[in-house]
Structure 1
Amino acid sequence: MISISVSDDTIKIRGHAGYAPRGQDIVCAGVTAITQTLVESIEGLTGNEIKYDMSPGRVDIEIKDPDEDAQLLMDSFFVGVEMIADEFPEYVRVEIRNDLDL
């Protein structure tokens, strides 16, 4: 299972979906694609400071004081992961911590 934990300025992703064999897992691929898009978009399209560490089965993202642009990108990320979690609830879980305005 992929566990996604979200707070005001951090995102932590842990695990593998286990939906299909490695290299064929569309659930993992979907979460990975929108996660990488979030990181690259914040780096390339905003002036926000972002720290991240990605390795197989583990992602840590920290965005210092996200501005309106970064918040919009983060909100879009959450829409995407929530859609995946709704479609594949036994493979993806999203936990929102604090009071995010989503």
Structure 2
Amino acid sequence: MIVVTITQTGLTVEGHAGYAKTGNDIICAAVSALAQGLAHSLSALTEDAIGYQFRDGHIDIEYENLSEEGRLLVDSFFIAVSDIQMTYGDQYVKIDTAPNGRKTEV
């Protein structure tokens, strides 16, 4: 399962969907592309200070005090990942929001 944790200061994408074998998993590919696109878009299209790290099965994006444009990009990411979750089911993608700014345990 992929767990997307969104906080006030960043987001983490952790795990693999397990929808199909490695290299053919369209859910993993979609969520990874969205997260990497978000990181690169925040960097290229805003002046927001961000940090990010990509590893197999793990993506961290950190930010603070996002501009209006940055918030729009993060909201767009959230909507797209939510659409994937609704289409394929929460056995493959779980979205965890941590409104107090702290990541919660899964």
Could you tell me the TM-score, scaled by structure 2's length? 0.90
Q: Which residue of 1 aligns with 2:23?
A: 23
SS in 2 for 1:51: strand
The alpha carbon displacement at 1:87 in A equals 1.2
| RMSD of aligned residue pairs (Cα, Å) | 1.3
The alpha carbon displacement at 1:9 in A equals 1.9
Q: Which residue of 1 aligns with 2:86?
A: 86
Gaps in structure 1 of 5+ consecutive residues: none
For residues 5-16 of structure 1, the aligned pairs below 5 Å read 5-16=5-16
SS in 1 for 2:78: helix
The residue type paired with residue 20 of structure 1 is A
The alpha carbon displacement at 1:56 in A equals 0.5
Gaps in structure 2 of 5+ consecutive residues: 101-106
Question: Identity over the aligned pairs, expressed in percent?
Answer: 37
1:76-102 deviations in Å (ceiling 9; x for gaps): 000010001111221000011117xxx
Could you tell me the TM-score, scaled by structure 1's length? 0.93
